[in-house]
A and B are shown apart, each in its own frame.
Chain A
């Protein structure tokens, strides 16, 4: 992953307002090797989108689209 400083929220740049839990492959970028959610300072997300991301990943875990751990 690139350097910590200077990272910007990709969702804000692309003007995305709703993060869908059904899109398992796009959510995989924001999880670690063991499927844990990546923190905000590492991915560069703003708080608003980080919260939406977290609820989307948790819903996907309940519906068996993304595992809880490896």
Chain B
């Protein structure tokens, strides 16, 4: 015996789905897949109230090897007992990468992609104005001048070191000689040593002045040269 049900309370709730489809399908096949979803909704006693086609967009991460996806949003009303069919259909669909079905509140207001983008542009403009006003109040200049580096002159303390090096270089080969020829090398070694010892005592000042002048000329040529950057 079939039970006679009383007048069926058709409570239809509001739902929203977002579907990501494969972007490599083509215009015709994507239209077919979308139509299949709509037919399913209508055949089970529902109504499509609003739809929004977002088109192909960049994804935030890779999905099944794809970097882009075709987004589509649908708003509809349906009997709550027949939603499982929709969910199954979306899962078995090969070319649907992701799907989401949400039950909507009473406070929900339908908005399209364009409206969100316009709001974002307006919000950015307002933020820029606020930042500029804050900077003006504080009184900071927008562009700060970078301090230029001071020109550093090279120190002129290298002369005695050069002289000392020359003396050491001359003494080293001189010392090696007496080992080979002690008899004859002693005299020239001694003479050379005395000669070298006399040089720094008597002629240091003259040498210093000459080398100072030479160094000054070299430094000035380096500073004035436009190609070299200090």
Interchain CB contact under 8 A, A67 and B116: no
Interchain CB contact under 8 A, B59 and A64: yes
Q: Which residues of A contact B69 (CB under 8 A)?
A: 64
Interchain CB contact under 8 A, A26 and B73: no
Q: Which residues of B contact A67 (CB under 8 A)?
A: 60-61
A22, A61, A64, A66: which contacts B116 (Cβ < 8 A)? A22
**Bound complex: CA A22 to CA B36 (Å):** 24
**Bound complex: CA A64 to CA B23 (Å):** 14
Classify chain B: how many residues form its interface, as a range. 20 to 34
B108 to chain A, nearest CB (A): 5
Interchain CB contact under 8 A, A18 and B120: no
**Bound complex: CA A26 to CA B118 (Å):** 12
Q: Which residues of A contact B111 (CB under 8 A)?
A: 20, 22
Q: Which residues of A contact B59 (CB under 8 A)?
A: 64
Interchain CB contact under 8 A, A63 and B120: no
Q: Which residues of B contact A25 (CB under 8 A)?
A: 116, 120
Within 8 A of A (CB), among B65-110: 69, 73, 98, 100, 102, 105, 107-109
Interchain CB contact under 8 A, B20 and A64: yes
Interchain CB contact under 8 A, B108 and A66: no
Classify chain A: how many residues form its interface, as a range. 10 to 19
B84 to chain A, nearest CB (A): 20
Contact A23/B116 with A63-B20, A64-B20 known, Cβ cut-off 8 Å: yes
A18, A63, A64: which contacts B109 (Cβ < 8 A)? A18
**Bound complex: CA A49 to CA B226 (Å):** 65
**Bound complex: CA A45 to CA B61 (Å):** 29
Q: Which residue of A lies closest to B105 (CB)?
A: A18
- B63 located at the interface, meaning its Cβ lies under 8 Å from any Cβ of chain A in the complex: yes
- B185 located at the interface, meaning its Cβ lies under 8 Å from any Cβ of chain A in the complex: no
- B212 located at the interface, meaning its Cβ lies under 8 Å from any Cβ of chain A in the complex: no
**Bound complex: CA A63 to CA B111 (Å):** 17
Within 8 A of B (CB), among A32-70: 59, 61-68
Contact A18/B116 with A64-B61, A67-B60 known, Cβ cut-off 8 Å: no
Interchain CB contact under 8 A, B116 and A65: no
**Bound complex: CA A26 to CA B59 (Å):** 17
Interchain CB contact under 8 A, B105 and A63: no
A17, A20, A26, A65: which contacts B120 (Cβ < 8 A)? A26
Chain A residues close to B by CB (< 8 Å): 17-18, 20, 22-23, 25-26, 59, 61-68
List 22 A-B pairs, Cβ < 8 Å: A17-B105, A18-B105, A18-B107, A18-B108, A22-B18, A22-B111, A22-B113, A25-B116, A26-B120, A26-B123, A59-B102, A61-B60, A62-B98, A62-B100, A63-B18, A63-B20, A64-B20, A64-B60, A64-B61, A64-B69, A66-B60, A68-B61
Closest 3 CB pairs of A and B: A67-B60, A17-B107, A64-B59
